Structure formats: C-alpha cells, structure tokens
C-alpha cells in the first residue's frame, strides 16, 4: 500500500458502498483483507525484502499472503501448519525419549 494513511478513508468508503450501492459482502471482505495485508506488508517490508519468506499456515488466508508477497516480488515458501506442527511434536517426543 503506497499510502497507508488513506486506509481509514478506504474503510469508510467500503462501508458506504455497501450501504448505498449494495456491495456484496464477499467482495467487501476480499477488499478489506487485501488492504490490511497490503498495509501489513508495507509496514514490514524492511524485514522481508530480499529475504526468504516462509508462510506456515493453511487455507485461504495463507494463500492470500502468498499471493500478496508474489505481487511485490517476494517468493514465499508455503508450508502446511498441521504437517509442521506434527513434525515438531514428533521430534520433541523423540528427543524426550532419548534423554530420559
């Protein structure tokens, strides 16, 4: 997002468009999600720019973050949260068994 200060105005215009023009709720949610993800990525750009970015999650939200990162030139590696969690718990259990 090139002008984060405009987010408040965008939020109010989104609400007004819903009330006055019957903007579909799904479209409104998609726009809101995109604006908030864009704002977050803009604010954290120094931390991810030129870095490997790992997204651990599942579902639509992770897909949205991955898509947004690709749009700004990053190459995110998406990993399923359940798989990573189970692998971590398995490794922890194995380590505990080996030390007791």
Note the pTM of the prediction, 2 decimals.
Answer: 0.76
Kindly tell me if the per-residue pLDDT of 99 is higher than 70.
no
CA gap 59, 31 in Å, rounded: 18
Residues 2 and 43 grouped into a single domain: yes
What mean pLDDT comes out for the span 65-70?
A: 96
Residues 54 and 78 grouped into a single domain: yes
Residues 90 and 56 grouped into a single domain: yes
- As for how many domains the chain has, the answer is 2
Check residues 54 and 1 and name the one with the higher pLDDT.
Answer: 54
Looking at 15, 33, 49, the residue that finishes a domain is 49
The pLDDT confidence band at residue 55, using thresholds 50, 70 and 90, is: very high
Residues 62 and 99 grouped into a single domain: yes
Q: Which domain holds residue 16?
A: 1-49
CA gap 18, 82 in Å, rounded: 36
Residues 41 and 54 grouped into a single domain: no
CA gap 34, 14 in Å, rounded: 12
């Amino acid at each position: 997002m090139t002008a984060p200060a405009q987010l408040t105005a965008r939020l109010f215009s989104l609400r007004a468009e819903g009330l006055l023009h019957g903007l579909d709720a799904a479209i409104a949610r998609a726009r809101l999600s995109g604006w908030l993800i864009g704002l977050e990525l803009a604010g954290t750009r120094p931390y991810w720019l030129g870095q490997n970015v790992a997204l651990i999650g599942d579902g639509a939200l992770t897909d949205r973050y991955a898509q947004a990162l690709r749009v700004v030139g990053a190459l995110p590696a998406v990993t399923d949260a359940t798989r990573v969690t189970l692998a971590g718990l398995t490794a922890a259990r194995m380590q505990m068994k080996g030390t007791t």
